[in-house]
Amino acid sequence: MKRSHLLYPLIIGAFALLTWLIIARGEKLPERAGTPLTNAVIQPAPAAPAAVDSNVFTGLLQHARHPLSILLMQIIVVLCATRVFGFLARKIKQPAVVGEIAAGIILGPSLLGWLSPAAMQAIFPAGSLPNLQFLSQIGLAFFMFIVGMELDISKVRQKAHDAVMISHASIIIPFFLGVCLAYFTYQRYAPLHVNFLSFALFMGIAMSVTAFPVLARIVQERGLTGTQLGSMAITCAAADDITAWGILAVVVAIVKSTGLLSAVATIGLALVFVLAMLLVVRPWLQRRMSRLTDTKTKVALGFFVLLIAGYLAEVIGIHLLFGAFLAGVIMPAEANIKQVLQDKLEDVSVVILLPIFFAFTGLRTQIGLLNEGHLWLVFAAIMLVAVAGKFAGSALTARVVGQPWPEALSIGALMNTRGLMELVVLNIGYDLGILTPQVFAMLVLMALLTTFMTGPLLDIINFSYAAGKQKALP
């Protein structure tokens, strides 16, 4: 038996035991008391409307203030900003998502609201935010459906042992470190009346996420798709995605439950839902798709499965996005429906709807709340835990299973990419009231910086080992 076969259960078991011990100890901490703070976006006072004398101008002003007009204006502003910043990000060899996340933050209270509260209120009035949120959720559901379709489970099976070991180590180690961080920050930085278990589980999952779509695009842009490094990194990220979303579904179920019985019931229903999708719906869908000849009917059936899966996931209590992701995973490849659905959805989702999600996240991110030195120390601790857990945990485990140091470090750098997937998790935690605006802002910044780090880290690793090889030559 290979040594790495024994290390896998030891690593997972040891960190799972340590995580349980921290949670058990943290459960004894006294719960915070007082008046709960709401996670509403701080909005500036509405600007007084300009006086107008003409009935024509008054009518135009009323039309401009119609909810649909405001939503269309917001979409135009968001698309312009994200396209510009996405272009600038690519110019400095960064994924476009880095610029798009930055654009969302800039449009929020962190910059636009600070420079011109009146302008922010005019573009993003408080009453319009629910419309923006619903639209962003639809975009995210489409995007998670695409992510599910992009996952190739056969690759995970082919490289099962090494990839799953690296992936699970890259989850359990940062998860444990996130729980440890929660233990030391709970009493001062957790929302009032949120119990330690909920806070600790979300901090753990926030440290554990890898952005599979961003990682796949970085691998493609760097010409690593056909290489051993590229295949291993994508396989690890795929296994990470499957595991992390499963854990997130369980965490959401526990957080939403009103007691132990409710949590067990929700997790039980979630397991039934997943098994039914994999063992019943997937075979039926394969048979049905293979018999259909009309592409429009196939697309309609794919959308129907997406909507039903999202609805059931939301009713069960494990979030719409998990249902959308699972619906994508079970889409049959044989009938070529995956490619058809991706072609129809990807442009609308990535180009139009996802930027709306970035803007909505930016409206929630208030970097100005980090106005004291101790808050930046907490942010530094979050960055240290995030990078140490994900980068170091993945790299060291990759080395243990036999990867050379350059490939192991590169896998660590790629797995440290968080991007959009992290923002999805953070927004779920924020909606559930588990994260305060301050902690939310810190974690959004962490997602942005860890994604930004990926390219420079890969360049440094390649340069260092290339220089080492040159020195070794006679």
Cα-based angle 168, 173, 179 (whole degrees, multiple of 5): 125
| pTM of the model as a whole | 0.82
pLDDT of residue 52: 46
Q: What is the pLDDT of residues 224-247, one digit of tens each?
A: 766 778 878 877 887 787 788 888
**356, part of any domain:** yes
For the chain, what is the domain count? 1
The pLDDT, as a whole number, for residue 470 is: 58
Q: Which residue is it, tokens 């660590």? A: 412
Contacts of 193 (CB under 8 A, 6+ apart): 31, 32, 33, 36
Would 14 be classed as within a structural domain?
Answer: no
The answer to whether position 383 is within a domain reads yes
Q: Is 383 exposed, middle or buried (0-12, 13-18, 19+ CB in 10 A)?
A: middle
Q: Which residue has the tokens 């989702």?
A: 349
User: For residue 389, what pLDDT is reported?
Assistant: 92
Per the domain annotation, does 210 fall within a domain?
Answer: yes
Residue owning tokens 């290489």: 227
> Any residues with CB less than 8 A from the CB of 159 and at least 6 apart, and which?
231, 232, 235
Of 199, 193, 239, 234, residue with least CA distance to 217: 234
By C-alpha distance, which of 173, 87, 166, 80 is closest to 399? 166
Tell me if 349 sits within 8 A of 302, measured CB to CB. Answer: no
pLDDT at residue 214, rounded to an integer: 80
Kindly state whether residue 11 falls inside one of the protein's structural domains: no
The answer to whether residue 48 sits within a structural domain is no
Residue 52 lies in a domain: no
Q: Distance of alpha carbon 364 from its chain centroid, rounded?
A: 15
Token pair of 73 as six digits: 């204006």
Residue 32 falls in which region: left (phi positive, over 0), alpha (psi -120 to 50) or beta: beta
Cα dist. 273→278, 310, 318, 405 in Å? 9, 11, 10, 41
pLDDT of residue 34: 64
Q: What is the domain range of residue 346? A: 65-472
* CATH, residue 76: 1.20.1530.20
Q: Which of 76, 72, 150, 66 is nearest to 107 (CA)?
A: 76
How far is the C-alpha of 355 from the C-alpha of 110, rounded, in Å? 17
Query: Looking at residue 126, what DSSP letter applies?
Result: G
The DSSP H or E segment spanning 346 is helix 337-347
Tell whether 25 is covered by a domain.
no
Low-confidence ranges of the chain (pLDDT < 70): 1-4, 33-54, 152-161, 225-226, 258-260, 334-335, 467-474
